[in-house]
Amino acid sequence: MRIFYKSIFGCFLAIGCLYFAVNGTTVDYSATLSGESKVQRFYPNPASQYIHFQLDPSVDKSYTLEIYNFIGRKMSAQRINNAKTTIYFDDNYFKGLYIFQLKDRSGRIIESGKFQVAR
């Protein structure tokens, strides 16, 4: 039975990754490959009521930070105002894995990552 659940989870993981790969947005890996990360840190991880994102001070103010749940539903989108941004969780955030994407004005993904919510 345990193997069955692991295979089901693997399928959901593959579908989630496939969704982000196929949805038509492009990812700019050049900053990540050169070590110039725009998202310097995010904490606490796992989070329970909120998560802080500390960004590079040179991040363009037109960037947007978007949060998606594991099945690809957009949970929130917040325009970057300063180097530290906090996302507060409402009742729609359940325990599980979430994806963040830092996007530019045209919708191109600058950086992405994942964090966990433990409620």
Give 36-65 pLDDT, tens digit per residue. Answer: 789 999 999 999 999 999 999 989 999 999
Quote the pLDDT of residue 5.
46
Quote the pLDDT of residue 10.
52
Structural tokens at position 49: 């009521």
Quote the pLDDT of residue 119.
82
Statement: the pTM of the whole predicted model exceeds 0.75: no
Q: Select from 97, 95, 76 the least CA-distant residue to 87.
A: 76
Question: Average pLDDT, whole number, for the chain?
Answer: 81
- The answer to whether residues 28 and 39 touch, using CB atoms and an 8 Å cutoff, is no
**Spatial separation of the C-alpha atoms in residues 84 and 78, rounded to whole Å:** 12
Q: How far is CA 83 from the centre of its chain?
A: 17
Sheet holding 39-43, edge to edge: 39-43, 50-55, 84-88
